[in-house]
């Protein structure tokens, strides 16, 4: 009985305190609510960021090996002169990888520069122009919104063809279908044969929406070889 009486008196005391100190009660509840929602929001943001970063890294492929002269990230204390002395990868080395390795399924070359791109009076500045070899889409797959990929004969012939990102297509051809039309890069005309499906900006700040993939077999020593291992490797 004493225990029940104590519980009853405690509940009555708590109720009276809530009624008498309404402002303090409201502020306390408001502070607790804001704190709980803040913690939930922070954890949600971090979980989303982690998921996006993981997704972007996984998009590179778990069985893809990149070979290049320079590292992807250059820190302030990095000895850059040692990387500068490294030789540039060559096409012959890519061929040797395919010839000697029993685990490499495909290999491709690529290099990227930024240039201004034109179509009549329309232009875009500092657009990444990525020159790739024929098997690039097998090493780094991407989806096409419209058009087609390069054929092997077009690659071997070194034709001036291009697959453009969705932003490039929208800005250079605002009122026309870009397929089979030409853009001007490096002072040369490239015929557009495909448009890359819009993907949006990644968490690393890059996007293929403003890329131009140029097919070419006339590759030089500044290109980056990529290789993809079989899934079972």
Question: What band does 179 get if pLDDT is binned at 50, 70 and 90?
Answer: very high
**Short-list 193, 82, 74, CA closest to 144:** 193
* Residue 151 confidence (pLDDT): 86
Q: Tell me whether residue 69 is exposed, middle or buried, using C-beta atoms within 10 angstroms of its C-beta: 0 to 12, 13 to 18, 19 or more.
A: middle
* Residue 222 confidence (pLDDT): 34
Whether the pLDDT of residue 189 is over 80: the answer is yes
* More confident site: 211 or 100: 100
Task: Give the three-class secondary structure for 130.
Answer: strand
Tell me what the mean pLDDT of segment 56-84 comes to.
75
**Short-list 202, 224, 199, 52, CA closest to 136:** 224
Query: E-strand spans in 26-181?
Result: 64-66, 106-119, 122-132, 144-147, 161-164
* Dist. CA 102–CA 98, nearest whole Å: 8
Read off φ and ψ for residue 214, nearest 5 degrees: -110, 125
Mean pLDDT of the chain: 76
Tell me what the mean pLDDT of segment 200-207 comes to.
54
Whether the pLDDT of residue 34 is over 80: the answer is yes
Question: What band does 135 get if pLDDT is binned at 50, 70 and 90?
Answer: confident
For residue 229, the tally of other CB atoms under 10 A from its CB is: 16
* Dist. CA 166–CA 189, nearest whole Å: 19
Q: Identify the helix (H) or strand (E) that includes residue 120.
A: none
* Residue 57 confidence (pLDDT): 61
Q: Residue 225 contacts by C-beta under 8 Å, 6 or more apart in sequence? A: 67, 68, 89, 93, 94, 97, 107, 108, 109
**Short-list 212, 196, 198, CA closest to 144:** 196
Cβ–Cβ < 8 Å for 230, 63: yes
Domain ranges of the chain: 2-59, 64-228
Whether the pLDDT of residue 184 is over 80: the answer is yes
Question: What band does 215 get if pLDDT is binned at 50, 70 and 90?
Answer: low
Angstrom distances, CA of residue 18 to CA of 4, 15, 38, 101, 134: 21, 5, 25, 77, 74
Output the pTM of the full model: 0.60
């Amino acid at each position: 009985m004493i225990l029940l009486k104590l519980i009853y008196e405690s509940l009555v005391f708590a109720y009276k305190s809530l009624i008498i100190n309404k402002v303090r009660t409201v502020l306390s509840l408001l502070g607790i609510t804001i704190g709980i929602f803040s913690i939930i929001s922070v954890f949600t943001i971090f979980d989303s960021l982690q998921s996006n970063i993981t997704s972007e890294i996984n998009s590179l492929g778990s069985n893809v090996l990149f070979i290049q002269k320079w590292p992807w990230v250059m820190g302030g204390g990095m000895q850059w002169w040692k990387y500068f002395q490294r030789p540039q990868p060559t096409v012959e080395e890519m061929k040797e990888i395919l010839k000697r390795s029993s685990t490499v399924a495909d290999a491709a070359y690529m290099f990227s520069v930024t240039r201004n791109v034109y179509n009549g009076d329309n232009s875009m500045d500092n657009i990444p122009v990525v020159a790739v070899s024929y098997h690039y889409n097998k090493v780094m797959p991407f989806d096409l919104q419209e058009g087609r990929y390069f054929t092997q004969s077009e690659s071997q012939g070194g034709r001036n063809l291009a697959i453009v990102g969705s932003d490039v297509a929208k800005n250079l051809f605002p009122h026309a279908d870009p397929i089979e039309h030409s853009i001007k890069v490096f002072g040369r005309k490239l015929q557009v044969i495909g448009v890359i499906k819009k993907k949006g900006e990644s968490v690393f700040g890059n996007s293929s929406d403003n890329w131009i993939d140029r097919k070419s077999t006339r590759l030089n020593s500044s290109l980056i070889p990529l290789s993809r291992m079989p899934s079972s490797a």
